[in-house]
Structure 1
Amino acid sequence: MSHTFLLEIGVEEMPAHVVTPSIKQLATRVSSYLEEARIDFDDIKEFATPRRMALLISGLADKQPDIDEEVKGPAKKIAQDDEGNWSKAAIGFTRGQGVTVDDITFKELKGVEYVYVEKHVAGQSVNDILTGLDKVIMAMNFPTMMKWSTHKFEFVRPIKWLVALLDDQVIPFSILDITTGNQSMGHRFLGKSLELKTATDYEAALEAEFVIADQAKRKALIREQIAQIAKQHDWLVDVDEALLEEVNNLVEWPTAFNGAFDEQYLVLPDEVLITSMKEHQRFFFVRSHDGKLLPNFISVRNGNAAHLDNVARGNERVLTARLEDAKFFYEEDQQVTISEYVERLKNVTFHDKIGSMYEKMQRVTVLAAILGDKLSFTDAEQTDLKRASQIYKFDLTTGMVGEFAELQGVMGEKYALLQGETADVAKAVREHYLPISAEGSLPESKIGSVLAIADKFESMLSFFSVGMIPSGSNDPYALRRQAFGIVRIIEEKQWHLELLDIETELVKSMTEAGVNPNFDMTKVTADVNSFISDRIRLTLENKKYRYDIIEAAVTGKQNDIAKVIETATVLDAHKDDANFKDSIEALTRVLRIAQKNEINPDHLAVDAKLFQAASEQQLLDQVTVIENAAVNTIEQVYQQLASLQPTIEAYFDDNMIMDKDEQVKNNRLNQLARVAKLTEQLGNLNELIVK
């Protein structure tokens, strides 16, 4: 016989951003609990609103399956004395297993006889198993947790009611002073409490009390209502999925409506209007068919259509007040020059251990110039890059960004254009923040990309220099995200920057420019390099590359980030080739011999007069060709080195490397060392597993 079980946790309103993760966590924990308890089930359906998390579990087994198992006890020499009498250890063991000494058998294990008994364990009923869900619920964790009343227990929000219904039977357990029952709550304003007769009544019973518990149904309804309003007014609405998810988790009974604002506010940049509507009011903005932003919005009420006009007017008033503030700041900000804003940055602290934002920009200006030079920027590009690096944080001191922090960078671009900066400079001011998330958009322009790299790299060097290094999950200044952003930008642009080798050059240039910080950046070189290497590993892991391939690429001597990634890509592409194993084994055999012997890498002369076998000359000829070849890609390097495999094998077959003649031995070691040096372009091949 199978059952349907309903679990509902009623709480005070949760923040929208925790609703979905919370129900996912509950489903995972309950599923794991049932699996560990050996209770079979067919499906778990999730329900969630701001005030509840619920699971409807169908096809639940009546009980655990019975188990017949063989249990091992003490060794025979401990279980019986010399006369065959049972010891206390044997008696205690059997009693603990619910059997007697008459049930004991002996079996040999690794030359020693042990006591064994056959044990029958009757499966518990599903009712008994479900009473343990209190511990599952109380083990949940959330980004923010609350205590209430005099309790020490913490949860996402205070628990108000619990439903635990197996078909039509209440499963009893308690959390603090809340005991399970069959009573749930409808909509806070439109509904009332309700009694559930069976678990399967849940969704329909709640809907009758103005709660759509199914998140997917609620979201689809919101989407449909928005589309209806847009069609009615001939608007275009590009529904923002993140906003839709947030709004969906703010309501239990959604009713969409539209409102308007005065056209005078359309003089504001679209980004300001959209931020005011989306980020601050959770409104969906609308456009005309030619793409122009319209003075209208769509919002969603947690309730029915009663007095909807009043609701719309109230929302309009709130939005108008915010837009009036934005208009004021927009007009006031334009009365101040960029140079004045930059001057104000001297009083804006980047971090109290590091200095001001102005000082940070000075260091970034030096670093950006170095990067631009390494990337062969034109004079015009270097000029724009320098200007962008000298002003790129200026909008932090504007009134608009002070009120709308989300617009930093965006307003910098707007104001820069209004004050006559070039389009490339203005765009870089906006793009230097990118990417703002692990998978976020990357800068498009060359200047914006370099400025983004320079800003992020300077932050890492500065924070590491003052001992503020991320540890565990603690990363308050998002340095991991910034390092990952650097790696993503360099990979996207395919720029060959040996970023990990420029710290010394940077410090020298800062000294010459008179902008050296009051801390030593050179002392953290190894830590910063390792930190960035970890982000390269993450990039490669996301590509699903094998662990050994990742380690081979990352732990090599290559400091060009793009080439490290390219190396892993090439090795991964060839790992299933028929000759991959033989090629790598031949090269790593060379590496092992070269690494075990002291060889001066700067003096690897090979004297052909000392050759004793044709394979020696053949290897020299091939290596010389490779050394002199104009190689541009790691793929070409791989093909050239793989081509050495038959020659290397012949070389080892024909020659004793550690020859008694010291000159011959050293000549051969030098020859192998030249091959080993070439392999450095393919990372640390010793890390590869080719067995």
Structure 2
Amino acid sequence: MSKDFLLEIGLEEMPAKYITASVKQLQERIEKWLAENDLEYKATEVYSSPRRLSVIVKALAEKQADRVEESKGPAKKIAKDADGNWSKAAQGFARGQGVDPETLEFREINGVEYIYLTKEVKGAATIDLLPEMRQIITSMTFPVSMHWADYDMKYIRPIKWLIALFGDSVIPFEITNVSTSNETRGHRFLGGSALVASPADYEETLLSQFVVADATKRKAAIVSQIKEIEGMQNWTIPIDEDLLEEVTNLVEYPTVLHGTFDEAYLKLPEEVLVTTMKEHQRYFPVVDEAGNLRPYFITVRNGNHEHLETVAKGNEKVLRARLSDGDFFYQEDLKITIDEAVAKLGNIVFHEKLGTLTEKMIRVKKVALIIAEQLQMTEAQKVKIARAADIYKFDLVTNLVGEFPELQGIMGEKYALLQGEDAEVATAIREHYMPTSADGELPQSDIGALLAVADKLETLTGFFCVNIVPTGSADPFSLRRSALGIMRIIQAKNWDIRLLSVLADTIDIERAEGLNTIPSEEVFEQVELFLQNRLRAILSDQQIRHDIIDAVVSAGSNIVPELIERAELLNKNRDAEWFRPTMEALARVVNISKKHQGDVTIDPALFENESEQQLFDAVQKLKQDYPTLVIVDRLRAFAALRTAIDAYFDNTLVMSDDEAVRNNRLALLFELASFIKEFAQIEEINVK
């Protein structure tokens, strides 16, 4: 027998961007609890809106399945004394299992008899277990939480009502003085309270109170209504998926409508109009067939179709005010030269321990030119890099960016072009912020990518120099994102930057500026590890096995694309027939070579068998060819060495009693190991 179970957490309006992740978390926690309690069910369904997080468990078993448990106790020689009486150990075991000692039996395992108890355990009734939903609710975590009233608990928003319904039975528990019931609440203005007779009635009950509980259906309704207006008006309405997701989580009963704005505002940069509509008003812009903006917008009302004309006029009024402000700020910004804006940056503190934006830009310029030198960029490119580094933050003091921070970089490019700056310099001003998220768009131009790396590396190093580092989940200055961005850009550009060398130079630059709270060596080690961890994340996202990641990252490399290629190559070949014996042979070389001490020159005259000479010849050829070999050929070269390595160990006692012979053999292995360890810490790879 089974019944559906409904859990609804009723809340004050939640931030839209956290709703989808929160209801998914609730679903995952419930599914984990069901598995831990051996409760069978058919499926789980999620529902959400600005005021609720809900999960329905379909066909949930009414009780746990009965099961047989076996418990192993002490050995027979401990369980009974010389007279055959039960010992205290056996009696304690029986007491712990809740049985009489006489019910115990013995079972032989590997020639030794042990107490064994087999007992049937009746499954618990589901209705008696479901009050544990309280712990599931209270244990949830959120990016933002709040206290309310005088309760100690923090939650995404105050809890206003709770439903816990198994079939038609309410599961009793209480959180912050709110008790469970079968009463839900509908749309704040159009609906009211309603009783849910059973989980199967949940969606229909809420719909009668003007709530579309299924977010997928709400989203589909919004898209359908947009498409309907698009057809009726002969418009093109691009649907931004992120905006659609946010709007879906802002409304409970969606009704799509359209409005207009003064065509004169189309003279503003498109980004100003789009940002105003999307970011500030949550409107969908309208474009023509060529993709040019038209003076219309689409918005979604949290309500029905009544008085839509009045609602549209209200939205038009708000947008008109925002666009009027944008136009004023834009016109004012056109009166300011770039040099005047740059001069103002000296009055803006980047961070109290890191100086002003002007001071930061000076440091970034030095780092950027070091990277440009490594990449052997032309003198013309270096001139553009220097100019970009001199001005790339200037738009932060403009009126428009002050009002619309989302436009930083974007307006910098616009204003730079209007004032005659080189197109590559202008593009770099926009691109240096990229990527703006873990998987965000990367800069495309070389100068923009270089400036982005320099800016992020200087930021990262600067904060570490003054001992401001991320701890746990706290990363207020987004240093993890900066480090990840550095790695992603270098990988995408396939740049052979000696990153650790640049890091050392960057630390010297910071030191020259007086940023020296902690020693340089410590900063270097911390930032190197920090960058390595971000690289581990990139490799992990590529489904590369963790032991291979450890082996390659631990080997270290100044050159990020090469390191990534090594990891990908090892991961690709991990199931090949030759892989395991090759890795075992190479690991044996590395492990024994650790006994080598001093600088012993290899003397072929001390070789005592043909295998030594063959391995020596193979190592010398590897030494000669290695610098010109691409990564895949280096791995092939190691694989080709396996036969010589195996023959060497089969015929040679490395740890000879003769000290000269022993040191000579260790020196040979040490020389080979130096190439192996540069490729990867082979001993880290699991080939069992």
Q: 1:368 to 1:123 in 2, by over 3 A?
A: same
Q: How many angstroms apart in 2 are the aligned matches of 1:75 and 1:680? A: 49
Residue of structure 2 equivalent to 1:623? 619
Q: 1:495 to 1:172 in 2, by over 3 A?
A: same
Offset from partner CA, 1:153-209 (integer Å, 9 cap, x none): 333222222223222333333334322222222211112222222321111121122
Q: 1:165 to 1:231 in 2, by over 3 A?
A: same
Q: How many angstroms apart in 2 are the aligned matches of 1:93 and 1:636? A: 63
TM-score between both structures, scaled by the size of structure 1:
0.92
2:240 corresponds to 1:240: yes
Q: How many angstroms apart in 1 are the aligned matches of 2:467 and 2:384? A: 34
2:282 corresponds to 1:282: yes
Equivalent pair of 2:6/2:166 in contact (CA under 8 Å):
yes
Equivalent pair of 1:599/1:669 in contact (CA under 8 Å):
no
Equivalent pair of 1:362/1:515 in contact (CA under 8 Å):
no
Amino acid at match of 1:340: E
Cα offset for 1:288?
Answer: 0.4
2:683 corresponds to 1:674: no
Q: How many angstroms apart in 2 are the aligned matches of 1:519 and 1:72? A: 59
TM-score between both structures, scaled by the size of structure 2:
0.92
Q: 1:122 to 1:653 in 2, by over 3 A?
A: closer
SS of the counterpart of 2:197?
Answer: coil
Residue of structure 1 equivalent to 2:123? 123
Residue of structure 1 equivalent to 2:639? 642
Cα offset for 1:241?
Answer: 0.9
Q: How many angstroms apart in 2 are the aligned matches of 1:93 and 1:672? A: 57
Residue of structure 2 equivalent to 1:529? 528
2:434 corresponds to 1:438: no
Deviates more, 1:584-593 or 1:307-316: 584-593
Q: 1:521 to 1:420 in 2, by over 3 A?
A: farther
Amino acid at match of 1:150: D
Alignment of 1:64-79 (within 5 A): 64-71=64-71
Equivalent pair of 1:190/1:209 in contact (CA under 8 Å):
yes
Q: 1:112 to 1:626 in 2, by over 3 A?
A: closer
Cα offset for 1:282?
Answer: 0.6
Equivalent pair of 1:160/1:178 in contact (CA under 8 Å):
yes
Q: How many angstroms apart in 2 are the aligned matches of 1:623 and 1:653? A: 18
Q: How many angstroms apart in 1 are the aligned matches of 2:504 and 2:116? A: 70
2:681 corresponds to 1:688: no
Amino acid at match of 1:553: V
Q: 1:611 to 1:200 in 2, by over 3 A?
A: closer
Q: 1:308 to 1:362 in 2, by over 3 A?
A: same
Residue of structure 2 equivalent to 1:385? 385
Offset from partner CA, 1:69-104 (integer Å, 9 cap, x none): 345667878987877777898778766655445544
Q: 1:579 to 1:123 in 2, by over 3 A?
A: closer
Deviates more, 1:119-128 or 1:276-285: 119-128
Q: How many angstroms apart in 1 are the aligned matches of 2:311 and 2:164? A: 37
Offset from partner CA, 1:570-593 (integer Å, 9 cap, x none): 222332332223333333333334
Alignment of 1:308-387 (within 5 A): 308-387=308-387
Residue of structure 1 equivalent to 2:588? 589
Cα offset for 1:248?
Answer: 0.5
Amino acid at match of 1:566: E
Q: How many angstroms apart in 2 are the aligned matches of 1:507 and 1:93? A: 63
Cα offset for 1:137?
Answer: 1.9
Residue of structure 1 equivalent to 2:557? 558
Q: How many angstroms apart in 2 are the aligned matches of 1:33 and 1:76? A: 38
Amino acid at match of 1:684: Q
Residue of structure 2 equivalent to 1:484? 484
Q: 1:384 to 1:615 in 2, by over 3 A?
A: same
Q: 1:388 to 1:403 in 2, by over 3 A?
A: same
Deviates more, 1:316-325 or 1:514-523: 514-523
SS of the counterpart of 1:56?
Answer: strand
Q: How many angstroms apart in 2 are the aligned matches of 1:163 and 1:655? A: 76
Cα offset for 1:111?
Answer: 8.6
- Structure 1 vs Structure 2: percent identity of aligned residues? 47
Equivalent pair of 2:596/2:670 in contact (CA under 8 Å):
no
Equivalent pair of 1:367/1:506 in contact (CA under 8 Å):
yes
Equivalent pair of 2:243/2:282 in contact (CA under 8 Å):
yes
Q: How many angstroms apart in 1 are the aligned matches of 2:393 and 2:519? A: 22
Q: How many angstroms apart in 1 are the aligned matches of 2:639 and 2:158? A: 65
Offset from partner CA, 1:635-689 (integer Å, 9 cap, x none): 1222223222223333444555456666655554444333223324412223223
Alignment of 1:574-613 (within 5 A): 574-600=573-599, 604=601, 606-608=602-604, 613=609
Residue of structure 1 equivalent to 2:207? 207
Amino acid at match of 1:626: L
Cα offset for 1:491?
Answer: 0.9
Equivalent pair of 1:507/1:516 in contact (CA under 8 Å):
no
Residue of structure 2 equivalent to 1:196? 196
Amino acid at match of 1:522: S
> Structure 1: which 5+ residue stretches go unaligned?
none
Amino acid at match of 1:280: H
Cα offset for 1:216?
Answer: 0.6
Equivalent pair of 1:461/1:521 in contact (CA under 8 Å):
no
Deviates more, 1:177-186 or 1:672-681: 672-681
Q: How many angstroms apart in 1 are the aligned matches of 2:106 and 2:507? A: 76
Q: How many angstroms apart in 2 are the aligned matches of 1:485 and 1:389? A: 18
Cα offset for 1:313?
Answer: 0.9
> Structure 2: which 5+ residue stretches go unaligned?
none
Cα offset for 1:269?
Answer: 1.3
Q: How many angstroms apart in 2 are the aligned matches of 1:672 and 1:92? A: 59
Equivalent pair of 1:564/1:683 in contact (CA under 8 Å):
no
Q: How many angstroms apart in 1 are the aligned matches of 2:66 and 2:664? A: 74
Q: 1:595 to 1:406 in 2, by over 3 A?
A: same
Cα offset for 1:231?
Answer: 1.8
Equivalent pair of 1:428/1:447 in contact (CA under 8 Å):
yes
Q: How many angstroms apart in 2 are the aligned matches of 1:85 and 1:671? A: 67
SS of the counterpart of 2:172?
Answer: coil
Residue of structure 2 equivalent to 1:541? 540
Deviates more, 1:89-98 or 1:184-193: 89-98
Q: 1:199 to 1:505 in 2, by over 3 A?
A: closer
Deviates more, 1:550-559 or 1:217-226: 550-559
Q: How many angstroms apart in 1 are the aligned matches of 2:663 and 2:107? A: 63
Residue of structure 1 equivalent to 2:630? 633
Q: How many angstroms apart in 2 are the aligned matches of 1:118 and 1:154? A: 45
Alignment of 1:466-485 (within 5 A): 466-485=466-485
Residue of structure 2 equivalent to 1:270? 270
Amino acid at match of 2:571: D
Offset from partner CA, 1:371-399 (integer Å, 9 cap, x none): 00100101111111111111111111111
Cα offset for 1:517?
Answer: 4.7
The count of corresponding residues between Structure 1 and Structure 2 is 686
Equivalent pair of 1:507/1:521 in contact (CA under 8 Å):
no
SS of the counterpart of 1:500?
Answer: helix
Alignment of 1:295-314 (within 5 A): 295-314=295-314
Residue of structure 2 equivalent to 1:259? 259
Amino acid at match of 1:627: K
Cα offset for 1:68?
Answer: 3.9
